[in-house]
Amino acid sequence: MSESTAGRSPSAPAGRESITPVVPPVDLFASPRLQLEIEQFLYMEAKLLDDRKFAEWYTLMADDIRYWAPTRRNRLRREADKENSQRGDVALFDDNKQTLGWRVNQFLTGMHWSEDPPSRTRHIVSNVVVRQTEDPDEFEVRSNFICYRNRLERETDFWVGEREDLLRCTGPAQWRIAGRTILLDQSVVLSKNLSIFL
């Protein structure tokens, strides 16, 4: 093999190095059965929100839940690590179990002025990737989401992004959300408010 072809695959175009695909170890990912169970849990959670069953949705939260949505900034490639706000900085949401309960109670008491009349929402969840953590009962779950909201006659909003969840198994087919990070794909929230749950 000549020096000019060393390091290139036979099919690589001249002047370009071949790219070796990175394949993560299979044992890091969930079994098909567990994958399906977690996907069904996320779909059921979305239905509770769309059906405005906020009290039932709240029971899915673990006592140590951190429900967090950092702000996002437009940064050059060399500053990609500064795109998202950090813990402790300004955030769109930064709730624990107690403050989530306050928000849910606002809906239930009818005192949430921005949700009377209430919004109609549709949560769509896809691209679910499940990975085992060091704790056998906890799983890191990444998913993409689209949330559509319609309110009154002409108010419509779309929120699109990624969720990074920590799901905890508390019994056979019983799950709790122990952590949720919501990464919206927009740096400026164009809607009037974020009075819903994502």
Tell me how far CA of residue 106 lies from CA of 110, 113, 139, in angstroms: 6, 9, 31
CA distances from 87 to 69, 128, 165, 178, 195 (A): 10, 24, 16, 16, 21
Q: What is the pLDDT of residue 108?
A: 86
Residue 4 belongs to some domain of the structure: no
Residue with tokens 């005192």: 111
CA 30 from chain center: how many Å?
18
Q: Identify which of 130, 128, 127, 196 has the alpha carbon closest to the alpha carbon of residue 157.
A: 196
Residue 107's domain comprises 35-184
Question: Longest C-alpha distance within the chain, in Å?
Answer: 77
Q: How many structural domains are present in the chain?
A: 1
Residue 60 within a domain: yes
pLDDT values of the chain reduced to their tens digit, one per residue, 198 residues = 444 444 444 454 555 566 777 665 555 678 999 999 999 999 999 999 999 999 999 999 999 999 999 876 665 676 566 655 567 767 788 999 999 999 999 888 877 777 788 899 999 999 999 999 999 999 999 999 999 999 988 899 999 999 999 999 999 989 999 999 999 988 878 888 888 999
Residue 65 lies in a domain: yes
Domain containing residue 66: CATH number: 3.10.450.50
Among candidates 151, 149, 181, which has minimal Cα distance to 165?
181
What is d(CA 183, CA 193) in angstroms, rounded to the nearest whole number? 16
